[in-house]
Structure 1
Amino acid sequence: MGWIGFTFLAVVLVAVDYTIASTVLPVMLSYEGTAENAWWITSMIIIMQALMIAFSTRFTQKFNAVAVTIQLVGMIGLVVLLFAVGAFNNELDFSNLFSTGSIAQEGYYSFGTLTSVGPWIMGTLLGAFTIVGFESAANLAEETRDPARVVPKAMWQAVLSLGVIGMLFLIAVTALLGDPAALQGSATPVADVINRVLGPILGNLLLVLVVISIFSCGLVILLSGTRLVWAMSRDERFPGWQLWHRIHPTLKTPVNSTIFVAVIGQVILALFSQQTDALFALFSAATLLPAIIYAVTVVIYALKRNKLPPSQGFRLGAWETPVLLVAFLWLAFELAIFRDASFAKPWFYVAVMFVIGAVYLVYLLMTRGGAKALKMPDLIAIDAILDADKGAEANR
């Protein structure tokens, strides 16, 4: 599952960064977006993120903290402006929330067939792709003081705050679409709506904030992927761990694992970049993989929760069983959507990556003397290490 997590972070890195090049910059800078320029722009974005992570963890964290603030302020401001200007100009049309656009009403809410899904059911995947990545806080738990309390709090705050803001943003944009069918042919519909409603100057200013937010999102994804590869390599669980577990003596960062994740991202980008449905394929794979990861996590937790050490920070109490049940039902529903034939490429990507991980697992079992040799290492208290380092610096 660590390997599957890595394959998810690698593909979602490309999906998020590709959004900047394909859906925002063409409108903001007034040029025609093509597969070629989206490819090289996304490639440069990944390189910039990798350089930041490789050269300074502290700078990366500070940049992300500022970007998150900009994201919250910018998104709240954008939502308020869209509603206010739309209401002032009498452009808000909330009937769009229930419009099928150019899609026929018949079968719109259908659950579909064995190999197809109705349009409305398919649309629920928008939430599945948007409300994802909150586990990045857990991926960085080893670098967090008092993670048992801080990480759960960060996760639910991210889901709640951005979930609410994101929903309001989608409602505002949908109500301001005008004729939904007219925007169907646009490759940048959201940016088009923002520019039309708020004007090119203010619209572009807010799109700059959107670019910063998306760049920061990709930065955290790459950082999480780097830490995942490094941690698995440290525990000798990742192919080529001898290279990826090293810490640069001067920069004090896992430079090798950063380069590795960035290179894998570039390979995935190259494989998808010349396809006309590249964005759909990337988003689909980046939605399918976390659904698999979350589903397995929920099942494993349900089976093993009584054998886990007691939590020192966050507990669901009596809500634990209902939350587990609802989570399992939702994930089963979400995974069922991917039976649609349009998801053939994402399933192929998942299958190939799963086979690679399975082959390496068999190799580990054969060369390490069985499952007992792969027992997880003991948990360590990061706070004690941080306190010791702080004391050593004070003494110096």
Structure 2
Amino acid sequence: MANPDLIASKDLIAAPALQRNITPFQSFAVAFGFVSIATGIFSAYGAMLSTSGPMGIWTWPLVVFGQLMVALVLGALAARIPVTGYVYQWASRLGNPVFGWIMGWISFTFLAIVLCAVDYTIPATVLPVLLGYTGSVENAWWITACLIFAQAGMIALSTKVTQGFNARAVMVQLIGMIGLIILLFGVGHFSGQMHYANLFSTGNIAATGYFSLGSMTAVGPWVMGTLMGAFTIVGFESAANLAEETHDPARVIPRAMWQAVLSLGLIGMLFLIAVTALLGDPQGPVSATPIADVVTRILGGYIGKALLIMVVISIYSCGLVILLSATRLVWAMSRDQRFPGWHYFRTIHPRLHTPLNATLGVALVGQVILAAFSGDTDALFTLFSAATLLPAMIYAVCVLMYAFKRHSLPATQGFSLGVFEVPVLLLAMLWLGFELVIFRDASFIKPWIYVGLMLLIGAVYLASLLLRGGTAALKMPDMESIDAVMDARPEDRANRG
């Protein structure tokens, strides 16, 4: 009788393959570009001021440390199962195929919503100041729709061009953000506009009970400030979703993850200090575009707008990486015949060598989600809240899977936590438990509704899969076959040799 794992492995080898051409810097650029402090801080800074006041910026180091612990755990997991599809692949092999499908669908739900949240940031928080027009729900909708289609077109046409653009955009963001920080501190200091007392002001938030943990349905003001960092410092694991396109992924991908978190954490903290010190009256009304207002006021029209153009490029690149990661997840699940419309989405275009159909499919889903939120005057808060809740759920599952299955994992070909494994695991669990408890606040009812609806859609499709073929229809190759599958490709044999 034929070995089903061997059959599954042969099927995977015979399936259309992506080209392994991502370099170590491009892997770092994927993780860095997805996290994108320019995107996250521009998106969430205004909401942070409204809920936590300027002193909410001091939640940033806590989030960076917590997410660094998570990145280390996910890096150790990626080094042992370096297969495209990341959490979908990990959960399928460490848990069971049904659980893997559920986690794959949750990951797709996250990527689809965060794509909209990131691209919506451009017309909602930057373009009105950059181009001098009055922002509205309507123009934010159609501008975001155009951005999604532009990103899809680039990804569909060429992975090489996409990676090249993203690598350059990351360099622009690195140089631009460091230059922006230096200019803000320098000009602010010599013009006498730096007010460091702002850093310890609660703004319009009452000082009484400011550090309270809150009640059953409400979170304390300072704790709410962690959402800015929690929304920003996510997506570093996207490097693992391109494992089958990366040279030496077991070594390169974990390093890309933790380096992205550390570098962005440091740059982000300096940027937050500069912007907050230059904010002006901490008890004044909160602008819809607070950071763009500070940049143009302090640095003047020309320099300020040039730097805002840099921010637009960074945010566009972030959305590009998110869409790229989503297409790879859809393709990986479709390759295993598990995604709705998998017959259509599993193909690789013979000339472009890209998952063209999966790219277009994700872009269309993004448009549907965008349309659903188009009439919401608080759309940005709703989008970024949902895009913070979902990765926290995903990370918690991944950390728990690693904790329970770490002794049965395949041997690593690269990264290992060594003697720090248990302390890192415990710290990651504590941080994620703390973060998830925040979402008990009543202000998150809309994100919970979105998550519930997407899970319901996934449950209906999963039920149809199980009714047609039972759990056997979701059979995955076991962990021991992963190296055999990868080694069957000539380029991987060369890498391992």
Q: Give the match for residue 130 of structure 2.
A: 28
1:10-159 matches, cutoff 5 A: 10-159=112-261
Structure 2 residues not aligned, in runs of 5+: 1-102
Cα distance per residue 1:205-240 (max 9 Å; x no partner): 000111101100000000000000001100112121
Q: Give the match for residue 162 of structure 1.
A: 264
When residues 373 and 31 of structure 1 are mapped into structure 2, their CA distance, relative to the original with a 3 A threshold, is closer
The RMSD of aligned alpha carbons is 1.6
Could you say what secondary structure the match of 1:173 adopts? Answer: helix
Aligned length: 389
Structure 1 residues not aligned, in runs of 5+: 391-396
- Mapped contact 1:143–1:382 kept (Cα < 8 A): no
Q: Give the match for residue 288 of structure 1.
A: 389
User: How far has the Cα of 1:94 moved from its partner?
Assistant: 1.6
- Mapped contact 2:487–2:493 kept (Cα < 8 A): no
Q: Which of 372, 378, 396 is the matching residue for 1:277?
A: 378
Partners of 1:207 and 1:257 in 2: CA distance: 32
When residues 307 and 360 of structure 1 are mapped into structure 2, their CA distance, relative to the original with a 3 A threshold, is farther
1:297-308 matches, cutoff 5 A: 297-308=398-409
Cα distance per residue 1:165-194 (max 9 Å; x no partner): 01111111011101123241x110010001
Q: Give the match for residue 274 of structure 2.
A: 172
Could you say what secondary structure the match of 2:202 adopts? Answer: coil
User: How far has the Cα of 1:364 moved from its partner?
Assistant: 2.5
**Are 2:429 and 1:328 aligned?**
yes
- Mapped contact 1:108–1:119 kept (Cα < 8 A): yes
Query: What residue identity is the alignment partner of 1:86?
Result: G
**Are 2:468 and 1:367 aligned?**
yes
**Are 2:336 and 1:235 aligned?**
yes
User: How far has the Cα of 1:372 moved from its partner?
Assistant: 7.8
User: How far has the Cα of 1:384 moved from its partner?
Assistant: 6.3
Q: Which of 376, 387, 395 is the matching residue for 2:491?
A: 387
- Mapped contact 1:3–1:357 kept (Cα < 8 A): yes
1:229-268 matches, cutoff 5 A: 229-268=330-369
Q: TM-score, normalised by structure 1?
A: 0.95
Greater RCO, CA 8 A, separation 6+: 2
Query: What residue identity is the alignment partner of 1:379?
Result: I
- Mapped contact 2:120–2:380 kept (Cα < 8 A): yes
When residues 260 and 386 of structure 1 are mapped into structure 2, their CA distance, relative to the original with a 3 A threshold, is farther
1:141-220 matches, cutoff 5 A: 141-184=243-286, 186-220=287-321
User: How far has the Cα of 1:34 moved from its partner?
Assistant: 0.5
Matched residues, percent identical? 67
Partners of 1:147 and 1:181 in 2: CA distance: 49
Q: Give the match for residue 319 of structure 1.
A: 420
Query: What residue identity is the alignment partner of 1:202?
Result: I
Partners of 2:473 and 2:370 in 1: CA distance: 38
Partners of 1:42 and 1:389 in 2: CA distance: 43
Partners of 2:377 and 2:293 in 1: CA distance: 20
Partners of 2:387 and 2:482 in 1: CA distance: 30
Partners of 1:379 and 1:180 in 2: CA distance: 55
**Are 2:2 and 1:2 aligned?**
no
Partners of 2:110 and 2:474 in 1: CA distance: 26
Query: What residue identity is the alignment partner of 1:328?
Result: M
- Mapped contact 2:465–2:473 kept (Cα < 8 A): no
